[in-house]
Structure 1
């Protein structure tokens, strides 16, 4: 009679190199913890033993794996960090402190989100960082000394590809660097153009011209920009900026904060054919002039993903907006748009003619009739993921929606925060188990 193998017996024959190689392909924080726990008795962990100790000691595995986030509690764990940094391809430096020991492989990406403390010399701190493969920086400070030290260090970061400036009242020095940099991603926070930190008499245009130069001459791929700040610039500078956007062959993602139609009424805007994803908040289409601007730049595009957050549509504008969506569009988000049951009927009639695969209508105003409109056409659409989070409708409407997916058994539906009580959630969960539909009901 053969003996049953003991748990971990096969793994006992592994060498640490194999255990370490497999670990690099595990993404989920809980899975890596279970993997290391299971293999610890086999004595095959090698340096992964230090990673297990790090995870056990600090508890929040999601902050350590798969991206290592060096925080104040971790920065002093020099011995452990030295042993485990080789397992990470992405590292975030989120605290100050001595990191002179840090030695990373060239392929490692490093995101800097910290800045020097008052007790540290800013120039020395940033000079030390220039030897690291920093690929992304998030800046949200406004101390003059720190700003100057960072701006001076930026040209000495050859692997830098992404820069986020969340808060800054003196942005001109950054834009001067950006204009000739090889950055691929640039994310600018709000109100950055309100200050007068450029050359006297033309500060706002000067800042926009540097940004325009970066778009024209470099491989800009992602840009986040506070569109309302265009009102500080002259029409000529604004049009030059918009022309640079429309002529780009590399830009794939644009995020526009505080969208201002008034800043664009005297200008022409067309999105480049390379643009695949457009995210804009506060789009207000209340009359024909507003609608014409938005429809023009949507219709002549190759967008695959469009997200409007807190848009405002008049009844007439909503139908014309949908009619002008590009046929290439696969993902559509209209979050917190105030969509009514009547507007849901309009959308439902058009959905079967669209190529929409993922539809997000969270936090709107429609109720049961709007959901029933969707249920009537869902099986005739291309939709694979539907998000209705934060809407208020009944269990019966939820049932109708789920039952409409009989011919689409692998569709995913999210109904978070829709006001269902626990009994209603259980009934809906039982229904989806029979249907084979994937459903998220968590609050």
Structure 2
């Protein structure tokens, strides 16, 4: 049995999961990879910090050069997170002929092309299955198993924190702040939850998935992003009345060489498979021109699910040959497809207003919608005459620009107290 020495950068949640898996599943990993994997070094900030796993102190280091200059270390596993110094560490590892495995979605979404080009030029491998959806094998699925397909659409619940929050709001009637607090208490949300609840995390992941799915370079700033902070239990109740469930979706579509890339809350039919993905689970729904509809589902985060994807990538490197050149998929040249402006996105829309319940209000609003090419499919009005009452609409399909123009006019009506919320409706 051959031995291979690897180094791990970071011993946080994911790093701990990788350490556990490498030790717990040692026999299976040997059998499947053909190697005995030895963790030669682990880069940490503080060697004396208490940890939940026992790690020999002599393999801990605070000096990255100990890893970089050790030619016996063949694979560097980057689990630090953030852009710097993680990106520079990976580039230096590549330049020193070390294969790299990473779970870092931020670096891949913003500097992935630079890393992949460097790996190809140097003749080493760069694997990143764990960067999207934890233990779900979505990267491998798209880059290998589905290569016979032209992927025309991907829709995903790819952030467990927001899915947990929306599940609690939907199933237990919690308001957003209450559900967020519980998510933080259970460790699903960070003390600063901005990356999750404002959809930055999902946006980075969509950049990676979009690039792989459509064979095009995707710039993060070309993706429309909207978080879940505006969603209330009232919106969830109305969604239920209309037969929908609200989820934070990452959506990628390719039509005639133009990409549509967006992350935002959306109402989806209650009978769609994605509507039943709850708690912290993730799922990605793929439409291919040969395979048809396909959904991958599982834990999108956590030490062991994400660690499973990382160790799977280590095994893939070993199976491909640690002394061989990069795999074929890393040689693919990406195109630069145009990303459609959000103004031209076509959806149905849920619109909730608070209005004065006076004669003619509904007619005035409907007239404005009609003038802006917005056709109404359903209307719900509740309350007594003379009071402020909710007025809720579901539109037929129209463009984002038509909705925006109509809403600006509606806001100017003296009988409209406030436009409370607008949520896109995806008939998937």
Flag whether TM exceeds 0.5 (same fold).
no
TM class, shorter-length? under 0.3
Decide which structure has the larger Cα Rg and report it: 1
Give the structure with the higher percent strand: 2
> What's the TM-score, normalizing by structure 1?
0.25
Greater relative contact order (CA < 8 Å, ≥ 6 in sequence): 2
